Amino acid sequence: MGRPRAFDEDEAVRAAVSLFGGRAYDGVSVDDLVTHLGVHRNSLYKTFGSKRGLYLIALRRHIDDDVRPLAEALTEAPDVAAVLRLVTSADLGLLLLAVVERAPVDEEAAAEVAGALAAVDRAIAGALGIPDDLAAALTAAALGILLRGDPDSVGDALAQLLDHLGRQGRPTWHRSA
Amino acid sequence: MAQVRIDGDDLVVVMEGLDRFWAQKSSLTIPMVNVRGATADPGMAAEPKGIRAPGTHLPGVITAGTFHLDGEKVFWNVKDPSKTVVVELADERYVRLVLQVKDPRATVALIENALS
């Protein structure tokens, strides 16, 4: 019998998404979580089990709230430029940090990240009518542009190039045998 | 200081040296199904400890033994807060273990990897 929880779990998870997405997993201490989430330390452990437990819940929330809607929007993208615009304007901070920081050392985080990226790949493949591996390459390029922080010039240049290649029917559009 | 290892399906915590005396306990064996997670948490040492029974509490020196807080039992064995790991449990006599270990990061990885 412990003291009842006196915090909004939903709000706490949203705050955790923002905190982990801004500072990365290793950059967030339990002290940071207690301060920013407004959760008593013992309640945090009781509710989420561990910092990693909270992180995985936050990552899943980020995927549900930010990545899945992006994938849905991508299914309507008319061309490469629209794909790049949608991906580079999305809030994908926690996903990107998870890819480089947690996925290599945490199988559950890796599975969440892989599933989210696959959903984006499928949406792009369906929208543009291109093979899955080319869609994955386009996703990777778009995320790279997002990381570079220069979506307008780099994204436009890539979109023009890919649209040009697409119009020419170059073999790069097709899956290799 | 405590040694933490996974032995089959159990988490085994062994108190080292005089800590057996301070904590009034030499070891704990917890089925892994009752382990919810582990976190390196140096700030935990600043939290209220509750009432000790049995155990030792010399503020700033050592916290060891069974502590009762809000109707829950927490097991402590910490002298150096910087090396604190919190292990959250379910369906156990203790709701959590607060342990000083040699390498908190490695201990957390050991436990979390066994859980996933």
Per-residue pLDDT of B58-105, as tens digits, reads 888 888 899 999 899 999 999 999 999 999 999 999 999 999 999 999
> Amino acid identity of A5?
R
Compute the distance between CA of residue A49 and CA of residue A145 in angstroms, rounded to an integer: 36
pLDDT (0 to 100) of residue B13: 96
Smallest CA-to-CA distance from A159 within A126, A128, A129 is with A128
Distance CA A120, CA A132 (A): 10
Per-residue model confidence (pLDDT) at position B113: 92
Give per-residue burial for A22-45: e unless 16+ CB within 10 Å, then b: eebbeebbbebbbebbebbbbbbb
* Interface residues from chain B to A (CB-CB < 8 Å): 36-44, 47, 69-72, 86, 88, 95-96, 108-109, 112, 116
**Per-residue tokens: B46:** 């600043």
- Given this model, what pLDDT does residue A148 score? 82
Candidate from A34, A41, A107 with C-beta closest to B116: A107
Question: What pLDDT, on the 0 to 100 scale, is given for residue A168?
Answer: 60
User: Which residues partner with B4 through β-bridges?
Assistant: B13
Q: What is the pLDDT of residue A167?
A: 61
Structure tokens at B49: 């400890």
Listed in sequence order, the DSSP H helices in chain B are 19-23, 104-115
Q: Look over chain B and give the mean of its residue pLDDT values, rounded to a whole number.
A: 93
**Total residues belonging to chain B:** 116
Looking at residue A65, what is its pLDDT? 96
Contacts of A30 in chain B (CB under 8 A): 39, 41, 43-44, 86
C-alpha A75 chain-centroid distance? 17
pLDDT band at B23 (very low <50, low <70, confident <90, very high): confident
Q: What is the Cα–Cα distance from A27 to A36, expressed in whole angstroms?
A: 13
Q: Is the pLDDT of residue B11 over 80?
A: yes
Which of B69, B116, B78, B75 is CA-nearest to residue B97? B75
At residue A173, the pLDDT reads 43
Write out the E strands in A2-156: none
Percent of chain B surpassing pLDDT 70: 100
- Rounded to 5°, the CA angle A39-B105-B53 comes to 60
Number of other CB atoms surrounding residue A2 within 10 Å: 12
Phi first, then psi, for residue B52 (nearest 5°) are -90, 140
Chosen for mutation from A41, A45, A107 (greatest number of chain B CBs closer than 10 Å) is A45
Which range marks the domain in which residue B19 is found? 2-115
Q: Which residues of B touch A107 (CB under 8 A)?
A: 116
pLDDT tens track of chain A, all 177 residues?
A: 455 466 889 999 999 999 999 999 999 999 999 999 989 999 999 999 999 999 999 999 999 999 999 999 999 999 988 999 999 999 999 999 999 999 999 999 999 999 999 999 999 999 999 999 999 999 999 999 888 877 677 777 777 777 766 666 544 444 343
The residue of chain A with its CA nearest to that of B49 is A42
The residue written with tokens 């929330």 in the block is A61
Task: State the total domains in chain B.
Answer: 1
Q: In chain A, which residues have their Cβ closer than 8 Å to the Cβ of B95?
A: 2, 46
CB-based burial label for A117 (10 Å; 0-12, 13-18, 19+):
buried
Q: Cα dist. A57→A114, A126, A176, B26 in Å?
A: 16, 29, 38, 35
pTM: 0.89
Q: Is the ipTM of this complex over 0.90?
A: yes
- Which of B11, B34, B39, B113 should we substitute to test contact with A (largest number of A Cβ atoms within 10 Å)? B39
